């Protein structure tokens, strides 16, 4: 897969923070971060943003992250909160995930703020356009004619 900076239309990719009970409807392959790790990650994004030069766009991002922080403070069970992987806005799956959660960050902004090495690889960050359940995949392999 391409390196982060080489992806076309990175501003078209969006991820979401999804609270319970809707988080139970998200496919495991679409989860980027789950549970208490979200609190640390959210805090690290705010710290990184505070180090950058102040501008209107940075203030907008800061306000969005602060709003999400307030939502996280109200959560009773942080274990059921997830941050999804990135979805291209033209994918059919994007329409499904948008109804489940709150917009988090576009990919280009995430790349500017993220300093965590485990979230630098596009294969980790971007969801697949189509998801096939492992059970369905194994059933298809069993049903395939043997040569």
Q: What is the pLDDT of residues 115-129, one digit of tens each?
A: 877 887 788 888 877
138 has pLDDT over 80: no
pLDDT at 38: 93
Higher pLDDT residue, 47 or 111?
47
97 has pLDDT over 70: yes
Q: What share of the chain is helix, strand, coil (3-state, %, to 5)?
A: 55, 15, 30
140 has pLDDT over 90: no
> What is the arithmetic mean of pLDDT over 104-109?
88
Distance separating alpha carbons of residues 123 and 73, to the nearest angstrom: 30
pLDDT at 3: 44
Whole-model pTM over 0.75: yes
């Amino acid at each position: 897969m391409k390196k982060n900076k080489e992806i076309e239309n990175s501003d078209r990719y969006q991820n979401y923070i999804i609270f319970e009970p809707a988080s139970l409807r998200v496919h495991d392959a679409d989860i980027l971060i789950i549970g208490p790790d979200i609190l640390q990650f959210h805090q690290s994004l705010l710290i990184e943003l505070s180090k950058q030069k102040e501008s209107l766009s940075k203030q907008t991002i800061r306000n969005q992250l602060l709003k999400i922080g307030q939502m996280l403070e109200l959560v009773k069970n942080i274990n059921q909160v997830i941050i999804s992987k990135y979805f291209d806005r033209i994918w059919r799956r994007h329409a499904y995930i948008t109804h489940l959660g709150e917009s988090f960050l576009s990919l280009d902004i995430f790349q500017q703020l993220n300093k965590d090495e485990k979230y630098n690889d596009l294969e980790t960050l971007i969801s697949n356009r189509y998801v096939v359940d492992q059970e369905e995949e194994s059933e298809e392999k069993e049903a395939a004619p043997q040569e």
